[in-house]
Amino acid sequence: MISTPLIEAHGLCVGPATAPRLSDVRVALQPGRVTLLLGPNGAGKSTLVRALLGLERASSGQVSVGGRALTALTHSERAAALGWLPQQPALDADLTAREVVEAARYRFDEPRRVAQRAAEDALDALGARPLASRPLTTLSGGEVQRVRLAALRAQQAAWWLLDEPGNHLDPAVRFEVVDHLRAHAQAGGGVVLVTHDLGLISHLPGAFVWVLRAGRVVDTCATDTPDLADRLGRAFGLSMRSVRVDGVDRLVVLGSAE
């Protein structure tokens, strides 16, 4: 089991008071199950993730990790608590897959050999070992995502914060990614998943849901809440229904709400 701290935002505001990107956000994120951050475009999901990572300055309020203010943590304490898979990866600099994963071991003070072995193990766990020596720029979208997940794994952070990890991936790979996230949560880790992919919801029974809209938290529930379709429909401005297929509730979008 991983010892995973609780992450909280207390009245978190980001951006100028006249045009805040987040206003008065209060969330308490718990490990053990996947947490979904949902909301329409521009709701502030990515901004919240960046603020939880300490990449956005809070104009008021604060983020705490295990009861300590995020700003009081050292860089390596932060990297031990929170790992990030950003939406738009910088695909730079001729690094091979192995080097990308090895770079995620930065917080560990260890000999190069150990870092390399950890990188190969992480690539192995994602089925990406054969890609180890390939430059990242030569890989397909799905392969790159595997490598980036391997890097997240190699960092061994308690929390994984992922911003649209399924973008540009085919459905099979998308579900595979979700399986990795669920396994991390089941092992006691924390997972925050920003996604537009409502199809994933039925794949994540019992996940926590936080719904954002216009920089505010407008709802919180779980994916097995009975009236989930209505609540999400309201947040997205959509008409949604829950339909039972093969014993599993699935969300179906009927169209925009009238």
Partner 1 sequence: MSGSRALWLVGAAVAAAAVSPWLGPALDGDTAAFVLRELRLPRVALGALVGATLAMTGAAFQVVFENPLASPTTLGTTAGAGLGALAVLVFAPTAAASLVGLGAFFGALSISFGLAALARSAALRAEDLVLAGVALSVGAGAATTGLQLQADAAATLASVRWAMGTLSTVGWEAPARLAPPALLTLGVLLAHGRALQALTAGADRAATLGVNTGRVRARVLLFGALGVAACVATTGPIAFVGLLVPHVVRRVVGAGPRALLPLSAVVGAGFLPLADALSRLALPDRDLPVGVVTAALGAPTLLWLLARRRGRMA
* Candidate residues 82, 126, 131, 211; the one interacting with partner 1 per rule CB under 8 A: 82
> How wide is the angle at C-alpha 173 spanned by C-alphas 169 and 174, nearest 5°?
70
Instruction: Report if residue 185 touches partner 1, rule: CB under 8 A.
Output: no
Instruction: Report if residue 89 touches partner 1, rule: CB under 8 A.
Output: yes
CB of 27 to partner 1, least distance (A): 19
Looking at beta carbons only, is 92 or 246 nearer to partner 1?
92
Instruction: Report if residue 103 touches partner 1, rule: CB under 8 A.
Output: yes
Instruction: Report if residue 95 touches partner 1, rule: CB under 8 A.
Output: yes
Assign 3-state DSSP to the chain and report helix, strand, coil percentages, each to 5.
35, 30, 35
Instruction: Report if residue 209 touches partner 1, rule: CB under 8 A.
Output: no
Instruction: Report if residue 87 touches partner 1, rule: CB under 8 A.
Output: no
* Candidate residues 1, 17, 90, 245; the one interacting with partner 1 per rule CB under 8 A: 90
Contact 122, 114 (CB under 8 A): no
Instruction: Report if residue 45 touches partner 1, rule: CB under 8 A.
Output: no
Residue (of 207, 243, 227, 218) closest to 36 by Cα position: 207
What single DSSP character describes residue 44? S
Beta strands in the chain (DSSP E): 7-14, 22-29, 34-38, 58-65, 68-69, 82-85, 159-163, 190-194, 208-213, 216-222, 238-245, 248-256
Instruction: Report if residue 203 touches partner 1, rule: CB under 8 A.
Output: no
Q: Which residues bind partner 1 (CB under 8 A)?
A: 50, 53-55, 57, 75-76, 78-80, 82-84, 86, 89-90, 92-96, 99-100, 102-104, 106-107, 135, 155
